[in-house]
A and B are shown apart, each in its own frame.
Chain A
Amino acid sequence: MAITVTPETFSFVSFDSAYIARIANLVAEQLGLTDIDIEIAVDETSPLTRIDVEVTDSLISIRPLSGALEDTRRPRQQSELATTLAMARSMLRARDRLRGGFENAPLDTELSLPQAAAWDTYILGRITRMSIEVKKQAALYNFRNRHGFNDASDHVFEKIWNAETFTWDELSALSANTLTLSA
C-alpha cells in the first residue's frame, strides 16, 4: 500500500502533508485497506468541505476541499479529528464499493442528495463504532434535511446508523421508502 498526499507543501493553509498521510495510514489499517494504493489530493484553494472519492481496483483517489480537514475554530489550521473523519468517510465509501454489495451504487457525482445522506449515515454510524468522535445530531440533521423532519425519518436514521452490513439496494430502498412516507 502506498499513500501519497499532494500538495507536499501548502500555501493557502497551514496543513502538513506528512501528518495527513500518517492519519490516512492509520485509518486505512483500521479499515483493512492495506492492499490498495491511496492518493489524496487536497484542493487548498477552497474552504468548502466537499470530498470527491474515486475508486478503481488498484487505487482510491480522495480529493477533499481544504475545509474538510480544517479546524473550524482556527481557520486555515489543520484539525486531527476533521482529517481523521474525512479519511474514514472517504475510505469507508471506497471500501463499500470495493468489497461488494454496492455494485449498483451510482457514481458519487450521480448520487441524489437523499441517497448521499443515507450512505453517509451508514458510514458515520460505523465510524462511531471505530471510537472516532462523530456528532450524531449533525448526521441526524443532515438525514432529516434530505428525508423529512418526522418520526418515520428518524426511525430509519436509527436503523441505518446501527447497521453494519447493508447493500446498496437495501440502503437506497430505505432512503426511497422514507421519502415516500415523508411526502
Chain B
Amino acid sequence: MANPQKPRAPFAPWDRRELPGSFSVEETARRVGHYKWAEMKLFEALGGWIATVPELDIKMRLGTHCYKHAWHAELWHKRLPELREMNPERLTLPANDAMVRFIDAMTEPEAPELTIEKLVGVYRVFIPHFISAYTYHLNNTSEITDMPTIRSIKFILQDEFDDWREGEMLIQSLLETPEEVDRAAAHQAKLEKIMLEAGGIAGPGSIGINTPAPQGAMS
C-alpha cells in the first residue's frame, strides 16, 4: 500500500467535475418549484385516471407511475428549503398560465374509451418534456455546488425513462387502426402546441432556448 502520509490531489485524476454552473440559488429554486408543481399535477392526474381506464394492465401501470411522480414531487419539496425557500408552497407554482392550460387540456379526457388520449398526453408530451428539462438542468448546473439537485435528477430521470418507455409501449399496443394513429397524433399536436406556448416544464428556458438572463450564475 502507498504511504498514507503522502499528500494526494483533492480531486482524483478521474474526477472531472467543474465548479461553474448556469443557475443561481434563486434560479434553481424557481425551477425546482416548477418541477414540483408539474410532478404534483402529473401524479394527481394519473391517480384520478386509474378508475377511468378499463384496461387492467394500464390501470396497474398508472397506479405504479402515480407514486413515482409523487415521490419526485416530494424530493423537490424537500429540496426547496435547502435552496433558501423556507415556505416551499410559495414556489410550488406553474411556470405560467399556458402551463395551467396544458394541465387542463391533458386531464380533460375522462371517458373509458379515451385511454389513447390519456396516455398520449402523459407519455408522448408531458414526460418527454420532463426528460428534456431535467436533462438540461443536469447538464448545466454546477457539478459541485448543486450536487443534491443532480442526485435527485438522476434518480428521477431513471424513473422518467422507464415510465416513458412503458407508456410508449402501451400506446403502441393500443393503436390498432390508422384512425387511432391519427387520433393519437392529433391529441399530441394539440397538447404540444400549448406546451410550446408554455416554453416547457419550467417555462421559457426549460431547455436553454429563450433562457432568461442568468442572475448571479457563474458560467
Decide if A and B touch, CB cutoff 8 A: no
Residues of A within 8 A of B (CB): none
Residues of B within 8 A of A (CB): none
